[in-house]
Structure 1
Amino acid sequence: MTVSLRGVSTVVPSTVLVQDEVRDVFAGQPGLGRLGQRIVATSFNVSGIETRYTVLDERRGRAPAKPPES
């Protein structure tokens, strides 16, 4: 049996993250020291990325849904 590729497409998730906001979230993690904050900030600042996309919608600016009470 012969296998062949019939098409290629790109799909971008609907949740958009701005690089500066993501950098600040990572740099603000509890227990991350000053050196760690500088490394995170530098890594994000020099990456050349302006916008990120994710399938996770927690960062969309609204509170995540609360789990049902048991």
Structure 2
Amino acid sequence: MLKQLQGFAGRNGWPVMRWITRDDNYRARTLYDRHAVKADWNTYEMAPDFEMAPDFEMTPDFENTKD
């Protein structure tokens, strides 16, 4: 499957493929370590605060529009 995805990415001009897996998913990580290079990035999550009103607006390119 990874080789098929790699071919699909190449045919479609993707510069890189990325995916995430749980830190304790040793079986998957062993497979990925054989076929890919572990990135230097860490993934973080933060739950949104649905009760807090936003005090700024976001443009489509996610730049803060207020100083």
- TM-score tier, shorter chain, comes to under 0.3
Higher strand fraction: Structure 1 or Structure 2?
Answer: 1
The normalised TM-score by structure 2 is 0.23
The TM-score with structure 1 as length reference comes to 0.23
Structure with the largest fraction of helix:
1
